Amino acid sequence: MSPHRPHPGLLARVPLRAARWSATHPWRAIGAWFAFVAVAVALAAFIPTKQTTDADYRIGDSGRAAAMQSAGHFANDQIENILIQARDGGPPPAREVAQVADQIKTDLAGVRGVTHVTPPQWNAGHEAALIEVHVKSTIDDASQIQARTAAVARAHADLRVREAGDISVNTAINDRVATDLHSAEGISLPITILLMLLAFGALIAAGVPVLLAITSVAATMGIAAPLSHLIHAEPTVTSMIVLIGMAVGVDYSLFYLKREREERAKGATTLEAVEIAAATSGHSIVVSGAAVIASMAGLFIVGGATFDSLASGAIVVVAVAVIGSVTVLPALLVKLGRWVDRPRLPLLWRVNRRIGQGGISRRILAPVVHRPVAALVVSVAVLAALAAPALGIKIHDANLDTLPSSIPQAQTLKAAAAEFPSQGSTAVVVARGTAAQHDQIVHDLTRLGSTAAATRWFDEPGQHAIETSPDGRTVQMTLPIPYSWSDDRSGEAVQQLRDHLMPDAFAGTHVKPAVGGDVAESLDFATHQSSRLPFVIGFVLLLTLVMMTLAFRSLVVAAISSALNLLSVGVAFGILTLVFQHGWFAGQLGFTSAGFVVDWIPLFVMVVLVGLSMDYNVFVLSRTREHATAGLPTRLAVQRGITDTAGVVTSAAAVMVSVFAIFITLSMIEMKMIGVALAASILIDATLIRLVILPAALVLLGERAWWPGRIRRPSGELVETEPELVRAG
């Protein structure tokens, strides 16, 4: 019997034509793909990656302050702090502290990059002393300072001598992130292969999706090098490429390969099966890939180095995975033929056959399609309850409070900030004028410092709080803020400084100062992101709405898809709020809640989730429409469509959830947030949303689901019988 051939639409014809060419010229397609990957990888070897610079991160008033500091050519030495305390908790002996200071100054005299070592300064209670080691701004390695400080500490056992600063903390963070990601990659690949073995029950079939995903990631890594000269590469972009590339690469291959095997099982030849898979699953791959790309493109609206870099990396890796899925994958399947199901693993083969029959989904769907109103109301109520905490979400930038306690340098900086407030949160007021205005600027800044210290927002400026640039045109003043980095009052202090204290101090002058520093940068980033967020959401939803309308010729289906995406995002935000802001399961997940969600995580999670969840949505809806076009009434088309795709969606979701769940085990809290939000929401999306809400909505809408288009059914009346359907007339 000839297999059913779906009538290809416009979007289906593209992968179909690509598949036909690849299937009839398999060695050319395979050779071209691996040549492309090799050339792309070679690009990375010959073209160095251009990393982001400090200037790329400048936003708002704090960015203007940083630009003025750069124009003033301040020395801007980096500072490594050496904190000295008594181990018994009392005041350390002044004589011994002086000996430590002398020894450190002597030992660091020959260390590359060290420009100055200050005498020890004592805190108000004389319970701690602090030595500042000034290092050239171009130095990014503090290992020598750490090693020599540790040697001095060993010689004074009754003192607790610790060293930390921006250089050492950044090095520790980078080392920890690299270790975490290496661990995640080492775990994720075996887990992905195991899940593919469970999905297919055969070694070759399990290896094909993994091969496509790995080659897609490798090619993107190479392309990212020359691309970084247009959009500078943020350090985390490599992780993003691996994360998204493995997820979509495996998913797309899974969709295609499952359909090809299904058609062969119905009696189609390998070439026929590949063509049908191209017209159906290939269509789904192109649509879902376009949806992921559109979603990621929304990050460009936010702007900034981080989001631009992440968006470009994700877009390239998805595009490469889509191209590979509709070109080299059909060629591989044609050359492998029935060997794709060899060698079989008997136990896994039987498990795979059982899962592929969709027995579990049938049992879930039965009550849903018979009582769609009740199923829809209950499921939406459950998800609304999970999403509700997101209304109180609090975001803040990552800081020392969010770093793992296992990073000693972070704990040292927190201890130094507790003993010496000037080492904690600060605001930097920068003013630039002419050389003739220098004295007046210094006078105004001095008055501003006194006025600010008289409020509850700031502490008294230090002895060397005011600095002048070498050209005499730029002056900056550092104001200590008596609140921690994570305290909302730190941001309020900066806002008070900008709105009231600074305008009063510089009233009547032509100088326009700006406020910089870590707190101001965090405030500006949050404000910038909040102002752009509605536009990003609107852009992503509108673009996915347009693409779904074009793909299915139905505004109703497109609207349902957008609504379900919003619901998935709301659930992800709600889970983030409950776990990381309110501390639910903090002990089990191995972190201490800082009382907020890291500021860039929600937007990142939203675009990734919308893009990836479209995979399931497009795949399920495509199969449902296919059955409706074949003549099944809506209720049966929904049942068949979801039952047919249940095994594929389950396998794809299992891969994604497993990969993202690995991130929960990592030590950095940002990785945990990504892992928890995406693993939980994708699990819910693939089960409650795709198996309950979507079919209930489609059954309730009936034929109206395809409006303004209509399903062109074959002539004759479809009559339901057991165990199959026959056509009468």
Where exactly are the structural domains of the chain?
10-49+177-392+554-708, 55-74+425-552, 77-176+393-421
Write the CATH number of the domain with boundaries 10-49+177-392+554-708.
Answer: 1.20.1640.10
Distance CA 612, CA 660 (A): 12
pLDDT for res 696: 92
Q: What is residue 595's three-state secondary structure?
A: coil
Assign 422 a pLDDT band (cuts: 50, 70, 90). low
Distance CA 287, CA 611 (A): 11
Structure tokens, 273 = 């099966």
Distance CA 88, CA 94 (A): 15
Tell me if 55-74+425-552 shares its fold with 77-176+393-421.
yes
Look at 464 and 691; give whichever has higher pLDDT: 691
DSSP output for 347-382: HHHHHHHHHHTTHHHHHHHHHHHHSHHHHHHHHHHH
Topology (CATH) of 55-74+425-552: Alpha-Beta Plaits (3.30.70)
pLDDT for res 724: 40
**pTM score, two decimals?**
0.84
Q: Return the H-helix or E-strand segment holding 115.
A: strand 114-117
- Res. 178: pLDDT tops 80: no
- Name the DSSP class of 709: S
- Name the DSSP class of 324: H
Q: Return the H-helix or E-strand segment holding 432.
A: strand 426-432
Distance CA 725, CA 463 (A): 88
pLDDT for res 713: 59
Q: What is the mean pLDDT of residues 273-283?
A: 85
Q: What is residue 487's three-state secondary structure?
A: coil
pLDDT for res 85: 93
pLDDT for res 726: 40
Q: What is the mean pLDDT of residues 33-45?
A: 93
Q: Return the H-helix or E-strand segment holding 566.
A: helix 555-576
Tell which residue, 169, 170, 172, 150, has the closest CA to residue 161: 150
- Res. 251: pLDDT tops 50: yes
Residue 163 β-bridge partners: 82
Q: What is the mean pLDDT of residues 532-547?
A: 86
Tell which residue, 202, 201, 247, 240, has the closest CA to residue 221: 240
Assign 714 a pLDDT band (cuts: 50, 70, 90). low
pLDDT in tens, 482-531: 888 778 888 899 999 999 999 998 988 888 899 998 889 988 988 888 88
8 A C-beta contact, residue 307 and residue 32: no
- Res. 284: pLDDT tops 80: yes
User: How much is the mean pLDDT over the chain?
Assistant: 85
Omega prior to 480 cis, within 30 of 0: no
Say if residue 149 is exposed, middle or buried (CB neighbours under 10 Å; 0-12, 13-18, 19+): buried
Q: What is residue 89's three-state secondary structure?
A: coil
pLDDT for res 508: 81
Q: Return the H-helix or E-strand segment holding 678.
A: helix 669-684
pLDDT in tens, 572-599: 999 999 999 999 999 899 888 888 998 8
Q: What is the mean pLDDT of residues 51-71?
A: 88
pLDDT in tens, 377-406: 999 999 999 999 999 998 888 888 888 888
pLDDT for res 719: 45
Work out the percent of the chain whose per-residue pLDDT is above 70.
Answer: 93
pLDDT in tens, 124-161: 888 999 999 989 877 888 889 999 999 999 999 899 99
pLDDT for res 722: 37
- Name the DSSP class of 497: I
Write the CATH number of the domain with boundaries 77-176+393-421.
Answer: 3.30.70.1430
pLDDT for res 452: 92
pLDDT for res 320: 95
Amino acid found at 70: S
8 A C-beta contact, residue 296 and residue 611: yes
pLDDT for res 712: 65
pLDDT for res 151: 92
Q: Return the H-helix or E-strand segment holding 513.
A: none
- Res. 674: pLDDT tops 50: yes
Query: By mean pLDDT, which of 9-23, 28-42, 568-582, 704-718 is the weakest?
Result: 704-718
